[in-house]
Amino acid sequence: MTDKTRFRRRAWQVGALAFLLPVALGTGAGAQTPTPTPQAMPVVAPRVVRSPLPIAADFNVAQMESLAQSLVAGQKVPGLAMAIVHKGRVISARGYGITDLSAAEPVDAHTVFRLASLSKAFAGTLTGMLVNDGSLRWDNKVTQYVPSFRLSDPVATQSVTVANVVSQSVGLPRNTLDRDLESYVPYQTLAQRLSTVPLSCQPGTCYGYQNVAFSLIGDVVFAATGQFYGQEVQRRILKPLGMDDASVGMEGLLSSPRWARPHVHGRGGWVPVMPKTTYYQVLPAAGVNASASDMAQWLIAQTGYRPDVLPDSLLATLHRPVVDTPGEMRASAWRRERLSSAGYGIGWRVYNYAGNTMVFHGGAVQGYRGAVAMLPDRDFGVALMWNSESSLPSALVPTILDRALGIPGSRWMKEDFEEPSQFVQNDDADAAGASGGKAIAAPH
């Protein structure tokens, strides 16, 4: 029985999945100490033999590229990058449109975009790697690594686990303190303010999407490894996978040889602006930058073709739903029509899409949006990033998935495409009540 089959058939009870918290970065009381051996970037990826289900025989990647090109025609969006992989091969990694309407340069495969909430999968993956190393445990309490961590309930404070943090099941109301983050309140202050927020539920028993609380995993990583979160992402993920354009933080974006400038709605069309710094304060939630070329390598690894970096057993854990998110099935037209279940795993959303397991995340910050979707049973994945606040490119996700699955009659690519706001603070705009999703499984 494969790990993917186990993923679908085995559910794990959440115990008290305790989540994360504050900012006493230098305090590592109780941290498990085995430190990962430095890993050199591989020159050649290992050969992997897998037996995935097929995609549709008439899937035409050139048609998908034409659809992407149509989105930048007439500046519906200024620029867009797309990567598609299948069975460990890059079948498309291209740019479309321009980086900046005020100083036009073409977007190419190496143009860097902000990933916004797509960054959460990197945080979850790094956490899983540290668990594999023995540096962390999923059921370790956050207070073991961050003694200053407090919730409003002392009992809840002591029960929040590492897994709760990266599975969005800490017990706080959705998007706690995001408005304050948008107002440039420092992360350290916000982490302390978590103690003033009434809980929605006990840790590990319901879903509540977070950015501030989620980013406490960065403090846990520092306490467990002695390395800053961004450095560990670079060392453990970006370099080994050959994500050579990718970086973490505002400085990384601005120092990229070519990066896409964000655009907002203005009089007469799109207006380029400078990137906002707010969500770069919460690197685990929204701090990674990457190109189409980088995201192709990320998809290859997440679909099982880099076991030297991400073994199958780790991927099975990351891609297993931990907490139900039923509101996701009502959040947009394609979700209502295609999804029969929705949950949050470890930094990833996990859906049943027309009878197929789909691993997904969307996100945005001012002037940027993005989406990643994978069909793990078919070793297929797509990543999209664009430098505006238009929702139109979101339609490419269900369109490409439908074509790959051979589902006829896709109608998602239209001008009045319905897609909820994907700003980081709203993520995929869960419908009211979604925060009450029941916890259904736990990493192991």
Q: Which residues contact 268 (CB under 8 A, 6 or more apart)?
A: none
Q: How many CB atoms lie within 10 A of CB 96?
A: 25
Q: What is the pLDDT of residue 77?
A: 95
Report whether 376 contacts 303 (CB < 8 A): yes
- Can you tell me the distance from the alpha carbon of 106 to that of 405, in angstroms, rounded to the nearest whole number? 32
Alpha helices in 301-395 (DSSP H): 312-318, 333-338
Nearest Cα to Cα of residue 362 among 354, 370, 350: 370
Q: State the Cα–Cα distance between residues 197 and 314, nearest whole angstrom.
A: 33
C-alpha span between 424 and 215 (Å, rounded): 13
- 313's tokens: 């057993």
pLDDT of res. 32: 31
Per-residue model confidence as pLDDT tens digits over 175-191 = 999 999 999 999 999 99
Give the pLDDT band of residue 30 (cuts 50, 70, 90). very low
Q: How confident is the model at residue 45 (pLDDT cuts 50, 70, 90)?
A: low
Task: Please report the pLDDT score of residue 141 as a whole number.
Answer: 98
- 92 SS3 class: strand
Report helix, strand or coil for 321.
Answer: coil
Q: How confident is the model at residue 443 (pLDDT cuts 50, 70, 90)?
A: low
Question: What are the C-alpha distances in Å from 223 to residues 125, 137, 147, 284?
Answer: 17, 13, 10, 15
Does the pLDDT at position 12 exceed 80? no
Measured distance CA(381)–CA(369) in Å, rounded: 18
Q: Mean pLDDT throughout 339-359?
A: 98
- 418 versus 10: which is more confidently predicted? 418
Residue 43 pLDDT class (50, 70, 90 cuts): very low
Tokens standing for residue 142: 């956050």
CB-based contact 143:163 (threshold 8 Å): no
Average pLDDT over residues 363-388: 97
The beta-strand segments (E) located in 109-156 are: 113-114
The alpha carbon of 131 is separated from its chain's Cα centroid by a whole number of angstroms, namely 19
For domain 13-43+55-436, is the CATH number 3.40.710.10?
A: yes
Mean pLDDT, the chain, rounded, equals 86
**Could you tell me if 136 and 236 are in contact, meaning their C-beta atoms sit under 8 angstroms apart?**
no
Question: Does the CA dihedral 65-376-238-232 come out positive or negative?
Answer: positive
Percent of the chain with pLDDT over 70: 82
Cβ atoms 358, 351 nearer than 8 A? yes
Helix (H, G, I), strand (E, B) or coil at 341: strand
Decide if pLDDT at 295 tops 90.
yes
Among 24-38, 264-278, 382-396, the minimum mean pLDDT is found in 24-38
Window from 173-182, 223-232, 379-388, 432-441 with minimum mean pLDDT: 432-441
| 108-112, 231-235, 381-385, 390-394, range with the lowest pLDDT | 390-394
> Does residue 56 have a pLDDT over 90?
yes
State the DSSP code for 365.
Answer: E
> Per-residue DSSP letters for 166-223?
HTT-SSPPTTTTHHHHHTT--HHHHHHHGGGSPPSSSTTSB----STTTTHHHHHHHH
Choose between 4 and 122: higher pLDDT: 122
CA pair distance 285, 114, nearest whole angstrom: 12
Measured distance between the N- and C-terminal CA atoms of the chain, rounded to whole angstroms:
18
Closest Cα partner for 430 from 304, 326, 283, 320? Answer: 326
**Helical (H) or strand (E) element with 68:** helix 61-72
Mean pLDDT for 45-69 is 89
Report pLDDT for 331.
87
* pLDDT 10s digits, 300-313: 999 999 999 999 99
pLDDT at 5: 39
Residue with the larger pLDDT of the pair 387 and 5: 387
| Residue closest to 301 by CA, chosen among 371, 236, 395, 357 | 236
pLDDT top residue among 16 and 199: 199
DSSP string, 237-277: IITTTT-TT-EESHHHHHTSSSBPPPEEEETTEEEE-PPPS
CB 393, CB 71: distance < 8 Å? yes
Looking at residue 44, its pLDDT comes to: 54
Enter the tokens of residue 200: 């929605």
Inter-residue contact 137 to 32 (CB < 8 Å): yes
3-class secondary-structure state, position 336: helix
- What is the reported pLDDT for 396? 95
